Amino acid sequence: MTGLWHDHAVPEFLQVGEEVLPLVIKRHRSAKRICLRYHPGDHAVSLTLPRHTRVVEGMNFLTQKSEWLITTLMEMPSKKRIKPGVVIPLCGERVRVKHDAQQHTAFMLKRGVLTIAGDRQEFTKRMTEALRKIARQEIAARAEKMAKKTGRRIHRITVRDTRSRWGSCSSTGNLSFSWRLIFAPEEVMQYVVAHEVAHLRYMNHSDKFWSLVAYLCPDYEAAKAWLKLHGKELYRFNA
Ligand SMILES: [Zn+2]
């Protein structure tokens, strides 16, 4: 959080360290002073302003309190619930989650917004379904492309909520992946897909296998290291 804010430039989101949080600015008639709060449930920040306080003063207050916000976020439990209003990483992009009961399609991903249809009570179920479908699509698109390069054919692709491994490959050409890979950076998803596709050709971890992985995903070593270090974080997100 840097810089000064002008009244006409109020961000909807707040960058705190590595994180981007929704920011809600409220006015409260009886508030005596500016009040800044972090809401762990929504993973959002609210700024309450007294009646006659200008937004710019509120934003400057926010800047002064950035140290406190960073500490608060670092101390919060690592779970993150996916609810309307939150921002989640999706295939390396930051996507804001929305609910729209009137929407005709079950879900829509457009211009950085993922909108889920249906009753609010069904949001959790529908959100999980949407994420799985998006994961399957994204993973399949990458896998098919890579399989072509290796001259092998994929029999079937499934996505699951696996805990022990990010992907697997059977001798009959069935590939299976954790749908949580959609929360990972693009190169990481590329690497896991490349790894399983390479197994279509080599059912081992020989030098030939790793050369094929490198051919499909030149940056695989960094991605592999990322997974080792941050893989657990992909379990933070739950609808
Ligand atoms: Zn392997």
pLDDT value for 1: 43
pLDDT tens-digit profile of 16-28?
776 778 888 888 8
Q: How far is the CA of 120 from the centre of ligand 1 (A)?
A: 41
Q: How far is the CA of 194 from the centre of ligand 1 (A)?
A: 10
- Which region, left, alpha or beta, applies to residue 118 given φ > 0 means left and ψ of -120 to 50 means alpha? left
Cβ(86)–Cβ(77) below 8 Å: no
Q: How far is the CA of 34 from the centre of ligand 1 (A)?
A: 54
Q: How far is the CA of 131 from the centre of ligand 1 (A)?
A: 25
Q: How far is the CA of 214 from the centre of ligand 1 (A)?
A: 13
Do the strands 167-169 and 174-178 form a parallel or antiparallel pair, or are they unpaired? antiparallel
Cβ(31)–Cβ(25) below 8 Å: no
CATH of 127-238, one of 3.40.50.970, 1.10.10.10, 3.20.20.60, 3.30.2010.10: 3.30.2010.10
Q: How far is the CA of 199 from the centre of ligand 1 (A)?
A: 7
Helix (H) or strand (E) holding 70: helix 66-75
Q: Domain map of the chain by residue range? A: 13-77, 127-238
Q: How many CB atoms lie within 10 A of CB 109?
A: 16
pLDDT grade for 234, boundaries at 50, 70 and 90:
confident
pLDDT at 80 exceeding the cut of 70: yes
Mean pLDDT computed over every residue of the chain: 88
Q: How far is the CA of 141 from the centre of ligand 1 (A)?
A: 20
Q: How far is the CA of 88 from the centre of ligand 1 (A)?
A: 28
pLDDT tens-digit profile of 156-212?
999 998 767 899 999 999 999 999 999 999 999 999 999 999 999 999 999 999 999
Cβ(143)–Cβ(168) below 8 Å: no
Q: How far is the CA of 203 from the centre of ligand 1 (A)?
A: 8
Q: How far is the CA of 78 from the centre of ligand 1 (A)?
A: 29
Helix (H) or strand (E) holding 16: strand 13-16
Q: How far is the CA of 139 from the centre of ligand 1 (A)?
A: 17
